[in-house]
Structure 1
Amino acid sequence: MASKAAGSSSSASLEQGFEEEDELLMMIQGSESGWVEARTSCDHLGSLSSDLSHIPTPDNPCNRCHHPSENWLCLSCKDVLCSRFVNKHMLQHYHQINHCVALSYSDLSVWCFACDAYLDAQVIMQLRPVYETAYILKFGEAPPFRAR
């Protein structure tokens, strides 16, 4: 009987090992890593400002609360407002005025509130000029673009 108990114990341990290996593989492949695939299209780009080559600098504080960081640039009216992790002024701006596309001055990501998704500013040609300008203002050099 001792051998039977040992056999089922090693079988359970082997099965647990396979489950842990599957979980690790899923994490490596990105399904649980928190990686989000940015969209390569958006139906809300018609509301973008016609002049996104002239934008406020990334060091501008929130226009409402004057918080110095975690700020976003509205790509419709060029207001600089703080993130949902500060005082939610950009989120309120979206709800009040329906300007839905914004660029984060923290990491230069672009978010569409209406799509509830990140947008790939290197692929979506309407967003590329504002991404390039923000990058130059933030880092003092042109951005490296990834190969497709």
Structure 2
Amino acid sequence: MADQAPNSSSSAALEFGIEGDEEFIHGAASGWVEARTSCDHLGSLSTDLLHIPTPDTPCNRCDHPSENWLCLCCKGVLCSRFVNKHMLQHYQQSNHSLALSFSDLSVWCFACDAYLDAQVISQLRPVHETAYILKFSEPPPFRTMEMQTIGENP
């Protein structure tokens, strides 16, 4: 038995220095991240997030056509850190910390260094819905309470 190979999740857990398989499977090493349901920076949101640029808007600085983010403070469209880092530079220069990805419609807070749950945070729901409609030409599906509690500890 001692020469038996560990299963793949055990091997990966050991490689990452994680003691329990469950922590590896459900933790940061798995690539799954739980979005925050609150943020102290929501006061900096633009007062008009119902009128936003379309998701195909290129970066305001380099005209890159994809991987762009919408600044939720000034409504500028800038490319991601994986392109030319213009949204990251914008945050560093202006302290506008909230942005919505036109790629997957996720919301990121640079100051919190975290994703925010745009369907749970009431101040973000309208801009998420507007962006979804602009991108897919239909309203977004809404999570039910049952779906929202999946993964929460009893």
What CA deviation, in whole Å up to 9, does each residue of 1:37-85 have, x standing for no partner?
A: 0000000000000010000000000000000000000000000000000
1:102-121 to structure 2, matched below 5 A, reads: 102-121=99-118
What amino acid is the match of 2:41? H
Q: Which one is further off, 22-31 or 81-90?
A: 22-31
- RMSD of the alignment, in Å? 2.3
Structure with higher Rg: it is: 1
1:37 to 34, 38, 55: 34
1:83 aligned residue: 80
TM-score by length of 1: 0.85
1:26 aligned residue: 22
- 1:140 lines up with 2:130 in the alignment: no
- Sort the Cα spacing of 1:25 and 1:101 in 2 relative to 1 into closer, same or farther, 3 A: same
2:127 aligned residue: 130
1:13 aligned residue: 3
2:47 to 20, 44, 50: 50
Structure 1 unaligned residues grouped into runs of 5+: 1-9
What CA deviation, in whole Å up to 9, does each residue of 1:86-138 have, x standing for no partner?
A: 00000000000000000000000000000000000000000000000000000
CA contact (8 A) 2:9 2:21 kept: no
- CA–CA distance in structure 1, aligned partners of residues 9 and 86 of structure 2: 44
- CA–CA distance in structure 2, aligned partners of residues 122 and 131 of structure 1: 7
TM-score by length of 2: 0.82
- Sort the Cα spacing of 1:90 and 1:147 in 2 relative to 1 into closer, same or farther, 3 A: same
What amino acid is the match of 2:105? L
- CA–CA distance in structure 2, aligned partners of residues 74 and 22 of structure 1: 37
2:71 aligned residue: 74
- 1:59 lines up with 2:56 in the alignment: yes
Aligned residues: 138
